[in-house]
A = this chain, B = another copy of it.
């Protein structure tokens, strides 16, 4: 792109402003249309992110991955962009029209760029510390139970599970620690215990197939893991309260689902100085939900010490056509590569918080942004 016009001082080139302002108005109108029609949180910046991604890919799943726009917002925006002739659907691909290219140009939206370390995929951790674990983990994971919709399962690619363990290790959250993992289709428990660093790993899991699988692996490999049946809608049983140094979870992303998992996890921690990590996507959680969750955590004496975007990628799950978002998908093509990704967030407790431990209704797992359940 080139620059044009002159800034207020008249000395340096800058973008022409009136064409840009007109284009910005279009972005704002598109965002407002989604907000009004669908009660989904959407900003002009989301439209910008989508237009940046549309200059790089025409695959609907890669658009989701690259734009970081909530899935249901993305689909509505694509339909709106098509109705206003900024994009056209060409078979399985989505293309910017000339009109759409012009909009990008006027709004000064450049093609999206991924500027991520090629060695660590931007995660920042060194997987070579897990060289021995990696192979053993791969052999174990090859026999894992299939992801099922009933429990909103979708497990991470193996490197993402390993990277999560490496991250915990580097933060001092692994060695000699007692770990609580609520929901573990990712098999973080197995990767963590294979390092022989944790003192103890407890998995609370709703899926009996996973409980059996993890306990069988633990027995066969002599790993310090116990997997126990637990439904997050039930109060956390007494033996698991205020007992752990570190939690790990990857919650369902409705706001109720997030706070259900995190409340049980925080209640499981000993108190001040205990910590934990969880995944949070941009596909099912708008930045408005992120904001709400940050306040929720801060109110519970949890300080956020780390947020690493695009840390975890997920294997495509077999029930893609059954998920809520499928019905809204503008082009019904199956994803060919992993596209769903989440940020890794670490919190540390400044104090032991007051956490309610009530039974919850399964309805908590739905909200207007939840897409995969």
The answer to whether A78 has its CB under 8 Å from any CB of chain B is no
Closest Cβ–Cβ distance, residue A22 to chain B (whole Å): 15
**1/0 contact trace for A8-19 toward B, CB 8 Å?**
110111110000
The answer to whether A81 has its CB under 8 Å from any CB of chain B is no
The answer to whether A26 has its CB under 8 Å from any CB of chain B is no
Closest Cβ–Cβ distance, residue A204 to chain B (whole Å): 14
**1/0 contact trace for A83-122 toward B, CB 8 Å?**
0000000000000000000000000111011111111101
Given contacts A108-B199, A200-B12, A290-B305, contact A125 B117 (CB under 8 A): yes
Given contacts A119-B120, A124-B116, A350-B287, contact A306 B307 (CB under 8 A): yes
Closest Cβ–Cβ distance, residue A222 to chain B (whole Å): 8
| Chain B residues within 8 Å of A116, by CB | 124-126, 170
**Pick from B1, B43, B196, B298: contact of A350, CB under 8 Å:** B43
B309 pairs with A114, CB closer than 8 A: no
Size band of the A side of the interface?
35 or more
A1 and B174 alpha carbons, distance in the complex (Å): 13
The answer to whether A152 has its CB under 8 Å from any CB of chain B is no
**Pick from B12, B14, B172, B226: contact of A9, CB under 8 Å:** B226
Given contacts A7-B200, A294-B303, contact A272 B45 (CB under 8 A): yes
A224 pairs with B12, CB closer than 8 A: yes
Given contacts A290-B305, A294-B303, contact A125 B115 (CB under 8 A): yes
Interchain Cβ contacts under 8 Å between A and B, 27 examples: A1-B176, A13-B224, A43-B350, A44-B273, A46-B273, A108-B176, A110-B175, A110-B176, A110-B197, A112-B172, A113-B169, A115-B166, A115-B167, A115-B169, A116-B124, A117-B120, A117-B124, A117-B126, A122-B124, A287-B348, A291-B298, A294-B294, A294-B298, A305-B307, A306-B307, A306-B309, A306-B343
